[in-house]
Amino acid sequence: MSVDYSKEFDRFLEREKHLGLMIRSRVKKYGDKKVAVRHKPHGEWIAYTWATFGSMIESTARALLEAGAKENEMVGIFAANSAWWAVADYACFTIRACSVPVYATNSAKELEYIVDDARIRILFAGNQDQYEKAMVVKKTSKYLKKIVVFDPVAKIEKSGDVMYLEDFMAIGKKADRGAELEARVARLDPEDLSTLIYTSGTTGEPKGVMLTHKNWLAMLFATGYFIPIVETDVNLAFLPLSHVFERAWSYFILCNNGQVDYCHDTKAILEFLKESRPHYMCSVPRMWEKVYAMVQDGIANAPEKKQKIFRWALGVGGEYQARKRDKKFIGPWLGFKHKVAYGLVLKKVKGIFGGRNKVFNCGGSAFSGEIAEFFFNAGVLLLQGYGMTECFVISVANPEHNKFGTCGPVVPLMQVRISPEGEIQAKSPSMMKGYWNKPELTKEMFTGDGWIKTGDVGFIDAEGYVTITDRIKDLFKTSGGKYISPQQIETLLKEDIYFEQVAAIGDQRKFVSALIVPAFDPLTNWAKKKSISFSSREELLKNPEVMKLYREKIDHYTRDLGQVEKIKKFTLLAKEFTQEEGEITPTQKIRRKIINQRYRDVIDAMYAE
């Protein structure tokens, strides 16, 4: 029997209506009986019950009214993940204002662009670093007037226009704004503009994607249709809340009465995982590539007997998990073997992630099916998905429909088609209203009949699973006329522990080459074991033994590619690609045009006869 998702969504929309109202209803339901959110800004976890969380949101909302915040006014949030971030976000929603997140890693210049484009008057800043960048912008901005700093230990110059969040909330508590607040709440509507999310801009300047509350609620409905959250579930918000993926998922967890723990430092993720022990988490392929490479390297250096036990345990785990997924009879013998395998091996892999994991979603860039299968066999369920800020989520695997190497089946409410050129096009109630202040770019983003042009090349198989092969703008053509997918090449190499960053090169060139940033910790350890002496990274990378190591690894990982796709030459770089230099986006995507320009001499040298 087919399900009428549209009618189900209408009922869901009637029930939830608006994210501001959603939070208020949970505050009323749980009060002090349950923790809503936790964060760990300075070494110790701080838990906030729904009552406390709600009170902080209301005080902040009243303070915004006291500061003269109008309906539909753009309010900036320039900070890493925290409970404070969520407070500011929901406070904006409560007064019908619009929250505008800025990546915590952005420069003052990048912040200035968003402040000017969105005409941000009030900005929430996270820590010392973000406060200082905000002050640089405030000195010359004709828009930015007020800065509210989350971190109580940041050193700030307090004034009427610069203050801590706790002082801002104190103003809100004292302000006689209750009637005005309730009047705004009474006007909350699903069609309210909720946010501008600025795309990280691999090409051109960032664009402010306009999303309504109905857009978010469509995402929540579609994302969680096959994943039932229970009250005791904990989600670790690991990806930046400035990104649509983490933000939608964190809304979804709270909407379904779960708890959100915030991770403000992605470099300390393993520590956060052990302490939070999350049931759910959003992630990007790079995290899994690194953990996979670390485990594989450990196994490769283990005695043969341990390697055999590890392979046996993974085989048993794979059979057990597949039968469980397909609802097939497991049987006592397989159950017994799995118990042994779990005790010997699988428990250790699960332990890396806290041991309570139910589902970890993964998206944002190309991901290896081999890595997804490895973790599935170990009992860590990674569900790959696909979407874009302008139309999220398009497809995502679920516990019962999960095919490695694909982005899962199309979600409820979403329509997907493939254009004659092979581009994926999509349509859904989650689809953006358009780009802020950019009518021409908005027009370009939609087809004549109202579908979003994703810019991604891919296909849908006979079972309805979506596979992305590359970005149209990323595909390059060799001088011989062959189209190459750089992401495919880069993803293969990053399965290995010795590769940190890879940029495949070859547009209008005779062959494919690569710029490679090694992972220096494992490479340095390897060099020491080989008694290779060096005084700098540059000296290490020139060593013939190091060049030989990378040549062998490149040949191994790209062995199944066609001859014209294989990397003929490569250069090892001593310096990482960075956001500060404009070489990667805040979401770690490569800005190919900038890298091609910046490393032109190095690239030309690889093609010199």
pLDDT at 45 over 90: yes
pLDDT at 202 over 60: no
pLDDT at 364 over 80: no
What are the tens digits of pLDDT across the range 240-280? 999 999 999 999 999 999 999 999 999 999 999 999 999 99
Between 235 and 457, residue with greater pLDDT: 235
Given a contact cutoff of 8 angstroms between Cβ atoms, the answer to whether 508 and 479 are in contact is yes
pLDDT bracket for residue 495 (50, 70, 90): confident
Using alpha carbons, select from 570, 578, 574 the residue that is nearest to residue 595: 578
Neighbours of 218 (CB within 10 A): 28
List CB contacts of 529: < 8 A, sequence separation 6 or more. Answer: none
All domains of the chain in start order, with CATH: 46-188 (3.40.50.980), 476-607 (3.30.300.30)
pLDDT at 205: 80
* SS3 assignment for 45-57: CEEEEHHHHHHHH
For the chain, percent of residues with pLDDT exceeding 70: 99
> Does residue 539 come out as left (phi exceeding 0), alpha (psi in the -120 to 50 range) or beta?
alpha
Between 141 and 2, residue with greater pLDDT: 141
pLDDT at 479: 81
pLDDT at 472: 83
Report the pLDDT averaged over residues 39-62: 98
pLDDT, averaged across the chain: 94
List CB contacts of 573: < 8 A, sequence separation 6 or more. Answer: 515, 516, 517, 541, 599, 602
Whole-prediction pTM value? 0.88
Q: How do strand 391-396 and strand 415-418 relate by DSSP bridges?
A: unpaired
pLDDT bracket for residue 489 (50, 70, 90): very high
Give the whole-angstrom CA distance, residue 15 versus residue 13: 5
Give the whole-angstrom CA distance, residue 411 versus residue 394: 6
Strand order in the sheet with 452-460: 415-418, 423-427, 452-460, 466-471
Report the pLDDT averaged over residues 458-480: 87
pLDDT at 203 over 70: no
What are the tens digits of pLDDT across the range 553-564? 999 999 999 999
Half-sphere exposure of 318 (CA within 13 A, CB side): 13
Range with the poorest average pLDDT among 229-233, 256-260, 468-472: 468-472
Given a contact cutoff of 8 angstroms between Cβ atoms, the answer to whether 49 and 30 are in contact is yes
Using alpha carbons, select from 61, 68, 72 the residue that is nearest to residue 161: 68
Neighbours of 444 (CB within 10 A): 10
Q: 3-state DSSP call for residue 108?
A: helix
Given a contact cutoff of 8 angstroms between Cβ atoms, the answer to whether 376 and 404 are in contact is yes
- Residue 200 phi/psi, 5° resolution? -75, -10
Report the pLDDT averaged over residues 231-241: 97
What are the tens digits of pLDDT across the range 290-327? 899 889 888 988 999 999 999 999 999 999 999 999 99
pLDDT at 403 over 60: yes
pLDDT at 110: 92
The alpha carbon dihedral of 473, 479, 482, 488 has a sign of: negative
Report the pLDDT averaged over residues 575-602: 90
pLDDT at 447 over 90: yes
Using alpha carbons, select from 556, 585, 581, 555 the residue that is nearest to residue 569: 555
DSSP for 284-315, written as a single string? -HHHHHHHHHHHHHHHHTS-HHHHHHHHHHHH
Give the whole-angstrom CA distance, residue 169 versus residue 67: 12
Which residue do the tokens 């040949």 mark? 555
pLDDT at 389 over 80: yes
Given a contact cutoff of 8 angstroms between Cβ atoms, the answer to whether 261 and 39 are in contact is yes
Range with the poorest average pLDDT among 58-62, 291-295, 575-579: 291-295
pLDDT at 201: 62
pLDDT at 344 over 60: yes
